[in-house]
Amino acid sequence: MSNSRIAAGIEYCGRDFQGWQRQAAGATIQRAVELALSRVADAPVTVICAGRTDTGVHARQQVIHFDPPVPRPERAWVLGANVHLPEQVSVTWARTVDVGFHARYSALERSYRYIILNRDARPGLLTGRVTWECRPLDELRMQAAAQALEGEHDFSAFRAVNCQARSPIRTVTRLEIVRNGTWLMIDIRANAFLHHMVRNIAGVLMTIGMGRQAVSWAQTVLDSRDRTLGGVTAPADGLYLTGVKYPAEFGIPDAEPGLWPDALIAAE
């Protein structure tokens, strides 16, 4: 057994997977990654991720760690794993890190982006990779409502009924809505997230953006701490884990800069 630890970045389209977490049956990202790394090591490999994503949710940069059973060059973990991964999943980098690093517990913040195509016609090229809403959305109303959700709050009204987190208290450090033509993007950053928290926030903001509820409704839902008042959970299609922030001493790279998601949007 090697006494080192490897951290790695994983990029994936979750459309054809039943979420991150390994299950008894069905395709999952964790199972695919573990099988691929095990082929490189020629021995079983178990990975820990920064945040488990649900069925149909995507990631620009999921972060994992594993303790390799045999030594391999960092480049070998990347290239070797990608040979054995399905085409929707890619290991983008690998780093040797201190054994005190933990992909989940060492994380300071996590960031998500929710992408909405807001036009009459449904998507063609990006089916399953963005959320379509044909009713006009007012991003100014959505941004005004979002202000109530920034900061430290009890997000019980925005968590799934089966959420297993011990505490509903989370700190949202950024919640911004940006429009680019027919595209709306909800960017949210927090110390951690509850099960379905981002999709439930998106559902509330979209309902307000449609004019079906007042801007103040976001505050009302938050204060209620009652999930039954929180409206519809937005679809998984448009949700991306965009990055995870760690203390600088671990040397974990940020998600690569570039045109994303402009390149994704340009494809449509």
What residues contact 139, with CB distance under 8 A and at least 6 apart?
Answer: 177, 178, 179, 184, 209
CA distances from 200 to 100, 131, 141 (A): 34, 14, 17
Which of 137, 26, 8, 178 is closest to 79 using CA atoms? 8
- From 16, 42, 54, 262, active-site residue: 54
The amino acid present at 198, given as its one-letter code, is: V
| Cβ(224)–Cβ(35) below 8 Å | no
Is 254 annotated as catalytic?
no
For the CA atoms of 94, 196, 147, 141, the dihedral, rounded to the nearest 10 degrees, stands at 110
Burial profile 178-196: b = 16 or more Cβ within 10 angstroms, e = fewer: ebeeebbbbbbbbebbbbb
Active site residues: 54
